[in-house]
Chains A and B, each alone.
Chain A
Amino acid sequence: MEGVDDIQNFIQFINFDGVPFALLILVVGFVGLRVMGSLVDDMGERFTNWRLQLMKGKAVLRFSAYIVMAVLVLTTVLRLENEALMAISGTLAVAIGFAMKDLAASLMAGLILIIDEPFQVGDRIAFDGYYGEVTEIGLRSVRLATLDDNAVTVPNNKFLTDSVASANAGALDAMVVVPFYIGAAEDFQRARRIVAEATATSRYVYLKKPVVTLVTDEFLGERFVTVIKVKAYVFDIRYEKAFVTDVTERVKLSFRRLGIRTPDQQYRDLDLNAREAPTDPV
């Protein structure tokens, strides 16, 4: 009976006259958001330099629009006078509160994400084993588009407790690391210059930030190999993989042209030489 009373009390606080207007608000709001979203996306494509800022603005605007809509709808539909607030703070309110606490937590987490900005829309982030571009920061969840074109949805509150890595952290450019393996006996200096040139001449490279090449020797598969690692920035995070491909392609072509062998090739050649070498008759 208590629950029935609560429901009856709750119904008293609904302003049914305001329901059509609330629906109108919702319809207009969602349509407006959709139009705004497509407009911002289009602007982002046209003004690449401003794409991330536009996406961020879009996220903030949408978040704000959701909150404003919610407030408008609630104030339109509900009679939230003091008595109503007092009355609604009964069992039903508690029940609703408990039922929606996760949603409320995600909502608050979303606000924190918007304010704290551990990442923003357009960033490429790694979280919980997923790596992809943030396509949306919503009221409840963050959506990622992985490189395999999977849409991953993560509740907002997860980001408050777990670590998240952002590749570009709000910038359009991002660092990309590409390793190259050559035989330990190859001309690594030449190879390093090739790698550097291949990176610097790539059409995707962002040369306002430095290009760094590192040379190390490692054991790999019981073989001693030389690793040339290049660290460079791609001018747009969207071209991350294209950049890697372009640099790799140029480097491999040049290696092939100049006879710089990979570890496998080098060891295979060494094996062949050993096999072909004349045995000592003794």
Chain B
Amino acid sequence: MLVGTGSKDDDLGLPGGEGPGQLDLSLPLDVADSGVVSGGVVVEQGEALDAPEGAHLDGILPGAMTPADAGRAPLSAVLGAGVLGVVDEQVSAGCKRDQPLVQGVAMLDIGGEYHAATAGADPEHQDAVGVGHLRALHLEGADLERMTGVEVEEVQGCGECIETDRELGWSHLAAQAVLDSAPAGAGPAEGDARAGVEERGEEGHPLDMIPVDMGEEQGGLDGGAAELLAEGGQPGPPVEDEPLAILLEHHAGGIATGSGEGGAADGDATPDPLESNSHWNLLVQRGPARRMPTELSRLVGGTAGGSIDCGSVGGPEWSAGKRGVRAGRAVLRTGTGSICDNCGRRNPIHHWLPLLGLVLALLGPVAHAQQPDADLAWATFRQDVAVGWDARREGADRRSAAREALFSGSNSFVDAFPELVGARLSDPAVVRARLGALQDRATAREAERQEPLPPLGDPDRLAEAGAIREAMLAAEDRADGYERRLLTGVSAYLQRNPGLTDAALEGLRAPLLEVLGTKPDSTDPAQQAALDAKIAAADADLAALAQLQRAVMLHAVLGRPLPPIDAELNRLEDPVTAPMAAERLRLLRPWLQGEAADRLDSALAAYSSGPALQRAREAREAAAAELAAVSQEPADRSVDQCTAELHREQMALERVEARLAGLPEGSPSRDRVALDRDAQVDRVAAARIRLQRAQGVRDEGIDQATAAADRARKQADEAAASAADDEQRAQARFLSQGADARDRVAEAESRIEQRRVGMRAREEQLAQAESQYRDLLSEIENASPIPGTGPDADGAYQQIRSYRAGLIDGDVARGVGVYQAQERVAELRANHEQEQATIAEGLRVAGNPTLERAARDWRAALDKEMQLAEEEVALAKRERQAVLTSLQAISELRRVLRGYVSWSEREADRRELGSDVGRELALLGPTILARIANRFDELGAVPGRLFRDATLLLDLMWGLFWTIVLLGGWSWARGKSPEIAFRLALQLKRLRPEMRPIDIQRLKAPATDAVRASIDLALGYLMVGRISQLSPEIAFLVETWLLLAIYRALLGLFDLGVVRAPEFRPSLLALAPESYDLLRLTTRVFLVWGIARGFAYYVFWSMLQLDTITGLLMTLFSFIFVGLSIYLLYHWDPILRVRIRARNQESKLVAFLSREVPSPLRPLSAVGLLAFFVLTLGVDFLYVLVARDRTGLARVFNVMARYQMGADADPSVVPIPDEAMEKLCSRDSKPNLYVPRPDVDEALTEAFSGWKKEGRRGMVALVGDRGEGKRTEIGRFLNRCAKEELPTERFRMTTLVSDEKGVLGWVAEVTGAEYSGDAEGLVESLRELPPGVFVLEQAHRCFSRSVGGFGGISAFLYVLNATSDHHFWLVSFHQPAWHYLCAIPSIVDVGVFRSVALLNPFDGPRTREITERRSRYAGLELDYRGLMRANLLGADPEVELERSINAFYRLLAEASEGNPRVALHLFAACLEPGERAGVARVLTRAALRTEVASDLSVDALFTLTALRQQDLMALDDLVEVTNLPVHTVRNTVRDLQSRGLVENANSQVYIPIQKLPMVSRTLRRRHLLHLGA
């Protein structure tokens, strides 16, 4: 906090009006005592006051002060500075001339001496905004810190000011000039100030701004403050004589009142509007409409007059005349001009001011001020005023002396602060209110100080009067300063210790009385007198405690000697007084420091950990017993008494909870306080029950039963009294027995009602505790992980553990109440039999109507009594169920919370393991029995309920329906499981076409098992929900059965996915027999373990809620898991070692892993082996499952496959014979070599049929890369055309011809048409030819990628399109060239083709098909065994071989990019002669690598791009297309030739077919080939 200091010198004290300019800075008011500030003289709306602090308790900154106000003040310079400097949002405080500017003017006036050398505010403007009350700070910062705990900082330097928004700013320079010129003394300074204002200018902000500030509307006084304030501020009536008016006004909505000038001259008008305008000053006297007139002003009947301006500046003007006169004068002066004197602006309001002023002047009293006689005034002053002032000074001096003596330790608190004796100083609100009152007094004094002295005439008299007044005010300042110091210190302590409230002190009375062994309400006068005496003694004791507390408080705050606390400590030794003494000492604890605090702590600790703990346990039990027995108590207390008791108990509960929350970790008192809290919870519950009973929550049956019992008793008594003979006596006895039964019914009614109330209270208590712990857990779960910032998990855990133990140990959970109630029922049943016999006997003997009626009533009473007894049993069961439910919830919370507690708490759990298990076991039997009994009851009640409760019947029928539906579905699905398995196998075949029918057949059995088990699981769990509603017992059996179904399902999945090696069917794993058996055993063992564990958890926790036992079982299962793992690893070790060793014998890692180890270490060795095994297995699994052609992930696995295959391959290359090689790669297209392309066939057939049958345009583009099979497709197409007996012609463009004439000439040449250089002529000529089929190959050579190189192809397409209805044109294009032409539609429109047949790349299976066909054509038998990899698990060789072949062809398809001819070349490179003639071994060779050409120059890349695009080019064409120099092209081609990337034949450069993929990959990677090539 920044606290500015003024000068300690009174003469140099900073001026400032005692206005309401308090600023409640960040320091809380009750600590900092609201620094008073002379800042913020003019603030703009919403700037400073919109801050919450700005409208705090004291309603600070209620209005803006005009410069006139400032200038009038003796220290107007300060205010002027504020005015001048704060026209913007940075509101500066003023500074005094020749003084360092006040840095921050929020200061604490705690220093006792209150040197209010403050001045500067006109008393008529006390409520001007920002007229701060600056007091010199006489308390050193250190002292201040000690008292308040607040850091105090003195700021040096000048020029900086704390703004009202608490920002540092610099005072205005113009203001500084004003400061320099302002007079130092008090008195009117209007002229100077005004001049100062007029000279200002650099801010440039007008002063005619509306200085309005809005305070916080909701700022209210605290209750404590309100106690001291007589009335709240209300607008309207004058509050002239109310000393608290200013405070109230300031607080009244926090509305700024401008400069406080909004009242009429006589102060009778309503206050200002919410937003005032400084120009209102022109209309009204700047009088004290709501100010506090001083005694002096009332005496002389004068007040200040306002200057005539817009409120910018002005000074006080003493007038002894009547107010009306002053008003008129003021208005007259106002009316002197419509131009503002000060701001010089024409305000609309000025236009009517003169007229209004004139009217008011005429209406006002003309009798203007006659000057009073000076001697008379002096005499009056001496006799009336000065005497009072002297008296006030003397009184203040006496108070100061007493307080000073108190502070020095030589006086009592009562003498020093008699007005505080009765005040509840432990209430923060009261302290704040007292501080506010002090502030009000200070404000009033400051206003009084600023009041002009009466016109006494003689300057000496004036000086004398001023001295008297100043002495009086200074003395009062000093006296109040002592009190402020005390209160500020107390406030600081209270803020740090919110528990130190008077409520806590008051709460001591009840336990005090209890300790005395008395109850406050007694009917016996003697006992009452004794009790009153004891209560009086107790109250006296409390008073002594309050005195002690106050003394200790003074010690803490003022440094007074510490009063002896030994007496209180000694009380801890007395078991009777110890609890109360402990409470008292805890209240004293926050006020103590040092040795005394240590002594107190140790004493309390000893008390808490010793007998107190035992007493707390006893109290806890007593409270529980009280709660249990509360329903048995007579309901003889009044509602008020019960309400008071409940309130008291609740207060005590809050207190003990606060104490528990405040106890540090590890405190010995925690356990005891926790017990206290639990006991108090019970007491609150008991008090609530008593209140409910007292409030008449009585069942009508009680009254009826009581009335009936009374009537029967009366009748029996009358009969007994009038009995004359034995028979009559027998009748009377009969009636008496009947009356006894009625009495018992009434009693039972009452008892049951009490039990109901107790039941409700119990449920509420349980719910409350559960909710509390749940919230606590939630807080802990959401708490910050930073230590010490969240709730104490250990403490919460202890509470929950204690609470849970209490629940388990309670009679309710064990079912004692139920047992007793049931015993009562049995007893009643036996008694009733006897009474029924008595009734029958009585009727037989007597036989009169009275007895018969009595017998009927008696029987009814017996029935009622039995009914009530059964209801009591039901209530007892309900209560027990509630407790058990709560116990389950608490156990769950405890289980969750266990993850957050420290090791020590877990240790504590372990220490109490035995007792916890004992508790749970003790509870187990009754719980099971109770459940069984409840279940039998429920089942027995079902038939009856079915007739009464339609909902139950509906639910039952609905549940049965769904159960039947699910059972039917389950039966049907199980029957269908073979078919479902078969369909799944078919789906699998779609994904894996290599599967054979025998594979599907072999999959049938395991797939059926897995499907059946899955159906069991899916429908079984659906059934469980329905069945559990009908019968939990059946649901339990179903649950158990489902656990077994889980076992079967998982084992079925295992059987489906894993196969023993001799068997052969599709599976995820094909294992060697020994591996298979062991893996199946492992799976079964762990499945059994997991299911058993789940079953145990389900039974012991979900059903029986045995928390500790479940934990023990889970631990046991963990040990079993470890044991089973060791056992299985022991058996796995040899197998793993062999398998891994077979994997790669040369690997050091494998050798290390598979080395022989001694038998005891085999499990450890197996762990490493298993990790390696699982890793490799995972890779294999992903490889099998995920790797597919043409996916991103497939590339990753292809890389891995290449690596793996490459590792097995023989590096030496032995090619197959040339003849076979040539035949394999030849371009023969015999039908048996053809791999169908249905899509291409379909496209061509559809286009041709359309042209032939419907006359549609016959113009088809056949697009494919080199080697993709364009020629083959064309040949097959022509073969089909031949059957149609149509003339067919097939031609190929062999060279690049791009000009129109060349292309069209070629067309004319191949078609036999005439061409004379005109395209239209060629079209006509073509139309004259008979319809035919023309196949033009390699049309991509009809254009050149150069400027002007597209004329030929454009004309070519034009001619073809124009004649396509007459002829059928099939044109083949190189794929990259086609994509290029597609990309430039504005130059070449290839959209004229009616259809486009695109040759797609081959995938793996098609690549395999073409290569195997070609191999057979070449006379080669393929031997794939060289591809097979050794499987880690000893998989089936055939399966592995098939997988390896698939992987090989996938790699081949990727390496060839799906180009069949390229694939054939690469495939040929992967062959080597086999063991016999005609056999070729397929091996993984480098040809399968997807390499890219590296280190190619940019020119080479461009050259390759051109060649890749147009397939074949001459050097000249290359030069033209690439736009590179000739020599560059030549050099580049030569370089590429040397790399083998291009070849040159007949001056035509092309890329060899084997290199096409590599070139394409290279260009794509460099972003040069981006059109789909």
Contact = CB atoms under 8 A, between A and B. Distances in A.
Interface of A: 46-49, 172, 193-194, 196-198, 200-203, 206-208, 211, 235-236, 246, 249-251, 253-254
A118 B442 CA distance: 63
B1348 to A, nearest CB: 7
B1570 A235 contact: yes
Contact of B1564 (A49, A208, A254): A49
B1565 A48 contact: yes
B1347 interface: yes
B370 interface: no
B1494 A46 contact: yes
A168 to B, nearest CB: 12
B1399 interface: no
B1383 A207 contact: yes
A197 B1383 CA distance: 12
Nearest to B1503: A203
Contact of B1565 (A49, A194, A198, A253): A49
Interface in B1497-1550: 1502, 1505-1506, 1521-1523
B1568 interface: yes
B923 to A, nearest CB: 47
The binding surface of chain A is classed by DSSP as helix
A126 B1219 CA distance: 64
Nearest to A82: B786
Given A207-B1384, A211-B1384, A48 B1347 contact: no
A198 to B, nearest CB: 5
A196 B1386 contact: yes
B1565 A208 contact: no
A46 B1565 contact: yes
B1565 A201 contact: no
Contact of B1505 (A203, A211, A249): A203
Given A46-B1494, A207-B1380, A211-B1384, A201 B1349 contact: yes
B298 interface: no
B1571 A207 contact: yes
B1568 A201 contact: no
Interface string B1345-1387: 1111110000000000000000000000000000010011011
9 contacts: A46-B1565, A47-B1565, A48-B1566, A197-B1346, A197-B1347, A197-B1350, A207-B1383, A207-B1571, A250-B1523
B1567 interface: yes
B1522 A203 contact: yes
Given A198-B1347, A203-B1506, 6 more contacts: A48-B1567, A49-B1566, A197-B1387, A203-B1502, A203-B1522, A211-B1384
Interchain residue pairs A-B with the least CB separation, the first 7: A207-B1383, A48-B1566, A48-B1567, A200-B1384, A201-B1345, A254-B1347, A197-B1347
A199 to B, nearest CB: 9
Residue among B1386, B1564, B1565 with most chain A CB within 10 A: B1386
A197 to B, nearest CB: 5
Nearest to B1383: A207
B1571 A235 contact: no
Residue among A48, A203, A208 with most chain B CB within 10 A: A203
Contact of A206 (B1492, B1523, B1566, B1570): B1570
A246 B1346 CA distance: 12
Contacts of B1521: 201, 203
Interface in B1548-1573: 1564-1568, 1570-1571
A254 B1348 contact: yes
A206 B1380 CA distance: 10
Contacts of A47: 1565
Residue among B1347, B1505, B1564 with most chain A CB within 10 A: B1347
Given A46-B1494, A201-B1521, A235 B1567 contact: yes
A46 B1568 CA distance: 12
Nearest to B1494: A46
Contacts, number: 63
A97 to B, nearest CB: 19
Contact of A172 (B1350, B1523, B1564, B1567): B1567
A200 B1568 CA distance: 14
Given A46-B1494, A48-B1565, A250 B1347 contact: yes
Contacts of A211: 1384, 1386
Contacts of B1380: 207
A203 B1566 CA distance: 13
Contact of B1347 (A46, A201, A236): A201
Interface residues on B, range: 20 to 34
B197 to A, nearest CB: 38
Residue among A196, A201, A246 with most chain B CB within 10 A: A201
Contacts of A236: 1567
Contacts of B1386: 196, 211
Given A203-B1505, A207-B1384, A49 B1567 contact: yes
Nearest to B1343: A201
B1387 A235 contact: no
A207 B1347 CA distance: 16
B1523 A249 contact: yes
B1571 A202 contact: no
Interface string B1380-1403: 100110110000000000000000
B1387 A200 contact: yes
Contacts of A196: 1386-1387
Contacts of A206: 1570
Contacts of B1570: 206-208, 235
A134 B1492 CA distance: 29
A246 B1523 contact: yes
A194 B1566 CA distance: 28
B1492 to A, nearest CB: 8
A251 B1506 CA distance: 20
A21 B1523 CA distance: 59
Contact of A203 (B1387, B1523, B1565): B1523
Nearest to A250: B1347
A154 to B, nearest CB: 28
A202 B1521 CA distance: 8
Contact of A208 (B1347, B1349, B1383): B1383
Contacts of B1384: 200, 207, 211
A171 to B, nearest CB: 11
A236 B1383 CA distance: 18
B1199 to A, nearest CB: 15
A208 B1571 CA distance: 7
A200 B1502 CA distance: 15
Nearest to B1380: A207
Nearest to A242: B1498
B1112 to A, nearest CB: 41
A194 B1386 CA distance: 12
A194 B1523 contact: no
A197 B1345 CA distance: 9
A235 B1346 contact: no
A196 B1347 CA distance: 9
A7 B1386 CA distance: 75
A194 B1347 contact: yes
Nearest to A235: B1567
Contacts of B1346: 197, 201, 250
Contacts of A246: 1523
A191 to B, nearest CB: 11
Nearest to A253: B1347
A230 to B, nearest CB: 11
B1348 A197 contact: yes
Contacts of A250: 1346-1347, 1523
A265 to B, nearest CB: 19
Nearest to B1382: A207
A166 B1540 CA distance: 41
Given A197-B1387, A211-B1384, A249-B1523, A235 B1568 contact: yes
A202 B1345 CA distance: 8
A213 B1383 CA distance: 15
A198 B1387 CA distance: 11
